[in-house]
Amino acid sequence: MALYSEKVMDHFRNPRNVGVIPDADGVGEAGNAKCGDIMKIYLKISDGTITDVKFETFGCGSAIASSSMATEMIKGKRIEDALALTNKAVTEALGGLPAHKLHCSVLAEEAVKAALLDYYRKNGIACDEALLAPHACAFGEGETR
């Protein structure tokens, strides 16, 4: 049995939505100090819909594939749908990840939710801790994750 699914390999070799949105409506970052992976997600939002999403990831193939898949899963979706994104859904969409790489899907979820929190803050929208917990709602104003 292969260590990585064909879907993981495809998103690693041909990542979707790579890049930066200079005038992003929300930017979120998540990282793992143990493995060194860092993900940054940029969102463009119009009328409650994610119209564009880009990512920059410094990390392993699983981190890149998780970022790519997460962006594909939220692009064109309503904010509420993006808030429902879970690391489990990212992992399943990729056809699975090795146990020691599951943290990559967690980082993807955290980066998306941090970007949505940034959008909320920039627009003076109250944070719904039930949807974003344990993300940056617990951080002080101006702090990032």
Q: Mind listing the pLDDT tens digit for each residue in 39-87?
A: 999 999 999 999 999 999 999 999 999 999 999 999 999 999 999 999 9
128 vs 109, higher pLDDT: 109
116, two tokens:
């949505």
Asked if pLDDT for residue 21 goes beyond 80, the answer is yes
Active site residue 104: yes
Active site residue 137: no
Q: What is the per-residue pLDDT for 35?
A: 79
Please report where in the chains the tokens 């990840």 appear, as a residue: 97
How many other C-beta atoms are found inside a 10 Å radius of the C-beta of residue 68? 25
**Residue 31 one-letter amino acid:** G
Instruction: List, in order, residues 6 or more apart from 88 with CB less than 8 Å away.
Output: 105
In this prediction, residues 12-27 reach a mean pLDDT of 97
**Choosing from 35, 60, 127, 137, which is the catalytic residue?**
35
126 vs 39, higher pLDDT: 39
144, two tokens:
């990032």
- Return mean pLDDT, the chain: 88
Q: pLDDT-derived band of residue 32, with 50, 70 and 90 as boundaries?
A: confident
**Choosing from 60, 104, 127, 137, which is the catalytic residue?**
104
**Percentage with pLDDT > 90 across the chain:** 77
